[in-house]
Structure 1
């Protein structure tokens, strides 16, 4: 089968087979996916494809088998989830985390980036310099200033004075 013949076959058969698989699956997107996958498999064997007596039936059969296979995988997954349900809920961030993030937001972007990369991502000064394109001395200065600013923002005395 030449590319032109296969393209013509695809153009005429695809919408019809998608309609049939849509009736089977009840999901138009799923029907399109499995029919498309069946055509990909037919494309791989297009040299002998026209020699078969019913190429459209072959596409439909492959697409139906793909749909059933997906159903089975989905059903197995549901059974697995039912037997091993996920944890109730993941707790949200604690108050310390929220305070830290708020303090980080108050830092200039370059200082915040240096502090986060160094203390949260565990990057060295040289790695931060390479990633940001800044000299190592500049990274050290940003870290120092960022730490000093965070210390002031997070100190208990500063919080109490701001409340009064």
Structure 2
């Protein structure tokens, strides 16, 4: 593909406006910041290679997001053991600025199935309607609703347990 200057400017503006949030989205799905960054970068490379087609079909973000999430999930499945260790031992110490609530949320998301986690991130964190989540994930609307319902139950239980632990750590015990 021979891209013109206008294409390059449009792509650069699109990248600048969407990359940071897309990394956060993929990180929420996978729980691994490095993998999220790699998958997002690769998705943007693929988008650039097809920029005429991707941008000509309307908003390119859903296409790039779908590619990034699929790449990350594929990598995640190949390295499942390493991710289990990540969730068991917590985030790496070089991840800056993660609040206890955010660490608890990422840990709770890690307990969901891949399909549930993806539905939660797309629907609750990005605010996409169920119908769009279904389109992006290749599932029916009913399947997405079921995944969301089950995920909310698991997250509610897990996050309630975390808040009890956090409250205990902050309180003074006598005895």
Question: Normalised by the size of structure 1, how large is the TM-score?
Answer: 0.44
Structure with higher Rg: it is 1
